[in-house]
Amino acid sequence: MRVKIFADGARLDDMLAASKSGMISGLTTNPTLMRQAGLTDYAGFAKEVLAKITDFPISFEVFADDFPTMERQAREIAAWGKNVYVKIPVTNTKGESAVPLIAKLAKGGVKLNVTAILTLAQVRDVVNALDASVPAVVSVFAGRIADTGRDPVPLMREALEICAAKPKAELLWASPREVLNIYQADEIGCHIITVTPDLLKKLSLKGKDLAQYSLETVEMFYRDAAAAGFSI
């Protein structure tokens, strides 16, 4: 496949396993995943990951809500390693656009991963703010778009065309819901897709014989009923 797979998560063992799998090209995480993993030392965790994974780009996200503090955090995170991308949300919690900060950081050479994008207007504003000479990732949450009953594929196609204005900007299909999304992203030429450990494991099912898969499913139901000791 042409699409690059980035492992998404915040458990060190999973991240290390993914980095050694031969299947990924980068990694991402975010404060929500880190909290779910029970982490409390943000910088300590990030630096431990970066000490062990040096040959893949890794995105770490700011968590401030005001832009001056967000900028300070972004510059601190960027200093942690040459393979670091700084995740900046497209707005703060007040709905105020982060585009001015994105432009300032990009102009200063900070590699950004602009996140939580769901509209084409946001894609246009972000791409316009990026520096053509600095690598960047534009993360569109296609899975969340699909959750609303909208087909994300046409939107992602158009987002790709917008990103073409900045050759070093890569479009990322974020929040996939199923393995099919990986193939959809690949088909339209999306540059990157984030994949959780459970979806990464399912990639081995590509091309699997459906009759055999049906039999294995029946066998699973039988084993589980027997193990539960069900009777009628």
CA 187 to chain centre: 18
List the structure tokens of 16. 């290390």
4-205 maps to CATH 3.40.50.2300? no
Average pLDDT for 194-216:
95
Tell me the average pLDDT across 163-185: 97
Q: Read off the pLDDT band of 192 (50, 70, 90).
A: very high
* Residue 4 annotated among the catalytic residues of the structure: no
Give residue 169's pLDDT. Answer: 98
> 62-108: per-residue pLDDT in tens?
999 999 999 999 999 999 999 999 999 999 999 999 999 999 999 99
At residue 78, the pLDDT reads: 98
Contact 57, 85 (CB under 8 A): yes
Nearest CA among 189, 130, 116, 191 for reference residue 157: 189
What is the pLDDT averaged over residues 126-138? 98
DSSP 3-19: SEEEEE---HHHHHHHH
Catalytic residue from among 4, 20, 87, 111: 87
Give pLDDT, residue 116: 98
* Residue 154 confidence (pLDDT): 98
Owner of token pair 């001015």: 100
State the pLDDT at residue 69: 98
Run of H or E residues at 58: strand 58-61
In whole angstroms, give the CA distance from residue 1 to residue 94: 39
Q: Among residues of the chain, what percentage have pLDDT more than 90?
A: 100
What's the pLDDT score for residue 112? 98
How big, in percent rounded to 5, are the helix, strand and coil portions of the chain? 50, 15, 35
Q: What is the pLDDT of residues 12-70, one digit of tens each?
A: 999 999 999 999 999 999 999 999 999 999 999 999 999 999 999 999 999 999 999 99
Lowest mean pLDDT among 63-67, 113-117, 196-200: 196-200
123-152 in b/e form (b: 16+ CB < 10 A) is bebbbebbbeebbbbbbbbbbbbbeeeeeb
- pTM of the entire predicted model: 0.95
Confidence of residue 212 (pLDDT cuts 50, 70, 90): very high
